[in-house]
Structure 1
Amino acid sequence: MSPETASPARLRAVEVSGDARTVEGPLRGYHHETYVVPLPAAAGEAGAAGSARWKCREPRSGLLWFDRRCFVSEERLLSALHGRITHVPDVFEFDGLHLQRFIEGRTLGTLHGAGRAVPPELVRQLVRLFGETAAVTWQTLPVERLCHPDDRPADGDSDGFMERLVCFTERRVYEDNLPRFGSLFAGLGLDDDGFTRLRKHVAGLRERPFCLLHADLHRENLIVDADRRLWTIDWELAMVGDPLYELATHLHLMRYPSRQLRQVVAGWRHAVEAARPGGTYGWRQDLDLLLGYKRAQSVFTDVVREAVSLGRAARSPGPEVALAAARLHGVLSAAAPPLGLESVPGPAEIGTALVRWGRAQPRDEGPPPGRP
């Protein structure tokens, strides 16, 4: 790749490493264009960098944002978590940049894909992570938060915490995307009344003391190294809130086999209650409600992502549209109860709605920047 065609992110990575031949990437990812680089020998001599490789990344432009963010900097959060959370990436400052250590290993999803059981020794490390995050409270976390104090629910106000998540989904995912995707939402039977029904579905959550949440614990954010240690990466969506939301998000994303799901829930209960007494209160009644929110949230994010990923292929029926329609049918069916949907369009109807939407898009609509 010539300097004329290299992106600013790659040029920055080459500048940091000092040798274009040592730069690996870009890595697969949605929010950032990321490269892996070794640091020059002079930097390694400082001791902190050593022989490790580091992630050099830049935010992608023009992205669709679907999740609320709490902390001003992932790197500052990671620095604050060292010594409190086992196996999170080191952070190293070099040439004015805060670089995260690249964890050498394989993702849990590569080793054990969605729907498959996770080996017991890795589940035990996940359970330990639940306990460690539950022990971290906002009062003991010296990291600046993005949200205004007036927009933060009181400690233990699980209903208030959920209301802010529903509001974010309604305003930033649904309403902000209406100009471009409104006709597609309507074609799938999605409207703002669904949020009224969703609020009723999740109302009445029990109070649980708040703690740190990773809020995105899925198989691609968990790295298994050569020593079978489980590392947790991508803390960008971390927040402070209801500990049961962490479990609900994790179960929603992991798709454990039913037997292992029960084991993980039991492990979460013991670890969180020991670290944060009262953190599991009312979990039997509230877990299904929070899972309902996650399924409803997925509808709006997945509709947008599938449509954007199709790009020009959405303009005519074909196998890509059929696959997207089948995936969306499953997502809509799962979310029907919390959204109060009386009926769910079939795959053929969803495919027709996608094509109708695709044909209405400008002809020069480019391909998507990527997807998670």
Structure 2
Amino acid sequence: MRVRRPAGETLAVTLRTWEHEAQVLAAVRPWLTNVPRPLVRNRDYGVLTYATGTTLADVVPPGKPLDRVHLEQLAGVFAALLRVPAERLPPRPAGWPADGDSTGFLRMLLDFSEQVRLDHDAEFGLLFDRLGVPRDGLTRLADTLPPLTPRPFALLHTDLHRRNIVVLGDGALHVIDWELSSYGDPLYELATHLRRTDYPASQQDEAVAIWQQAATAVSGRFAEGLAEDLPAYLRYEQAQSVYPDVMRAARALVSTRSPLRMTEAVRRVRTALDRAAPALSMTALPDRADVTAALNDWLRAAAG
């Protein structure tokens, strides 16, 4: 069961294209059967079937190479996403980039992330200043990105990582958590998958090749410009992730549901900064003591 939390309990930091994942699952099932089946849909909650198994993260922990059998099954998932007809999907929000406007799609993502930063500036702006995150980082990144190769748009899961993949008893993969699914440049699917699945460096090229083979088997146009354009999406993913990751770590320090220890919050913040630094041109990163002091100051300001 998925229950929508009241406004204010969660950070609005993720792009939500559609209101209900049930709408997407209904469109996906003819092409990909190993997904949850919606049973009940209400404005405030939904009930879906449950997959009995073990997450891929528990079978193969992050940072470890995936077995070839898992990569081949992921190729089938990628291909299925590309085959779902656009007309079967719910309508996109007003102003959505036109099909094939890959540059417009990336610009929309950048604009959304900049708006996230602005929307939370009153609460977190000084914390980001203390951590050395430039306020114009996303704007400067947008100015450096070249136009992208036009590619046909497709259904995107956008959160296809080890914890959202259940390994069933027969070894088949079952894909869950479609709440953040979207519609756009298929290279963005590859970029989010690479970053969030945490492949070891030795398997990155293999993972890209698996996706490319799956995409090309559906249509060669989906993978056009891959070598030139994938770095742009990876830079965006590196840059934008610093905002939700730092904000969630800080908020977790005062959470009543699952409070976070300061040492873990500091670790998460430093990891986020390390990841985003190249894309945001951050040359000097705060050490552990500076991050701890910044978070303590944020706690004092939040309390009073």
Fold match (TM-score > 0.5) = yes
Structure 2: distance between partners of 1:95 and 1:332: 39
What count of residue pairs does the alignment treat as equivalent?
298
The match for 2:23 among 58, 65, 76 is 76
8 Å Cα contact 1:202-1:290 kept in structure 2: no
Change (3 A) 1:200 1:362: same
8 Å Cα contact 1:197-1:340 kept in structure 2: no
The match for 1:332 among 273, 284, 301 is 273
Change (3 A) 1:282 1:356: same
Root-mean-square deviation over aligned CA pairs: 2.2
Amino acid at match of 1:63: T
Structure 2: distance between partners of 1:73 and 1:94: 8
The match for 1:154 among 70, 94, 98 is 98
Structure 1: distance between partners of 2:218 and 2:26: 21
What runs of 5+ residues in structure 2 fail to find an aligned partner? none
2:57 pairs with 1:109: yes
* RCO comparison, higher one (Cα < 8 Å, 6+): 2
Displacement after TM superposition at 1:260 (Å): 2.4
Displacement after TM superposition at 1:85 (Å): 1.6
Amino acid at match of 1:74: E
2:5 pairs with 1:60: yes
2:75 pairs with 1:130: no
8 Å Cα contact 2:246-2:268 kept in structure 1: no
Amino acid at match of 1:301: P
- Measured against aligned partners, the alpha-carbon deviations of 1:194-249 in whole angstroms (never above 9, x if no partner) come to 12112124332222111110000011110111111100111111111111110110
Displacement after TM superposition at 1:305 (Å): 0.6
8 Å Cα contact 1:292-1:338 kept in structure 2: yes
Amino acid at match of 1:169: S
8 Å Cα contact 1:202-1:293 kept in structure 2: no
Displacement after TM superposition at 1:95 (Å): 10
Partner of 2:110: 166
- Measured against aligned partners, the alpha-carbon deviations of 1:173-197 in whole angstroms (never above 9, x if no partner) come to 2111111111101111224311211
Structure 1: distance between partners of 2:46 and 2:246: 35
8 Å Cα contact 1:71-1:143 kept in structure 2: yes
Amino acid at match of 2:191: A
| TM-score between both structures, scaled by the size of structure 1 | 0.75
Displacement after TM superposition at 1:92 (Å): 2.5
Partner of 2:165: 222
Structure 2: distance between partners of 1:306 and 1:203: 33
Displacement after TM superposition at 1:290 (Å): 1.0
What runs of 5+ residues in structure 1 fail to find an aligned partner? 1-55, 314-318, 364-372
Structure 1: distance between partners of 2:57 and 2:108: 30
Change (3 A) 1:201 1:348: farther
Q: Match of 1:199, SS?
A: helix
Partner of 2:291: 350
Partner of 1:280: 223
8 Å Cα contact 1:322-1:347 kept in structure 2: no
2:180 pairs with 1:237: yes
| TM-score between both structures, scaled by the size of structure 2 | 0.91
Change (3 A) 1:94 1:183: closer
- Measured against aligned partners, the alpha-carbon deviations of 1:47-81 in whole angstroms (never above 9, x if no partner) come to xxxxxxxxx33111221121111123211211121
- Measured against aligned partners, the alpha-carbon deviations of 1:340-372 in whole angstroms (never above 9, x if no partner) come to 223222222111111111111126xxxxxxxxx
Structure 1: distance between partners of 2:183 and 2:165: 20
Partner of 1:175: 118
8 Å Cα contact 2:134-2:280 kept in structure 1: no
Displacement after TM superposition at 1:110 (Å): 1.5
8 Å Cα contact 1:201-1:338 kept in structure 2: no
Structure 2: distance between partners of 1:69 and 1:136: 19
Amino acid at match of 1:86: T
Displacement after TM superposition at 1:93 (Å): 4.2
Structure 1: distance between partners of 2:231 and 2:207: 15
2:39 pairs with 1:92: yes
The match for 1:320 among 255, 258, 261 is 261
Structure 2: distance between partners of 1:258 and 1:312: 34
Kindly name which structure, 1 or 2, has the bigger radius of gyration based on alpha carbons.
Answer: 1
Displacement after TM superposition at 1:131 (Å): 0.9
Identity of counterpart residues, as a percentage? Answer: 37
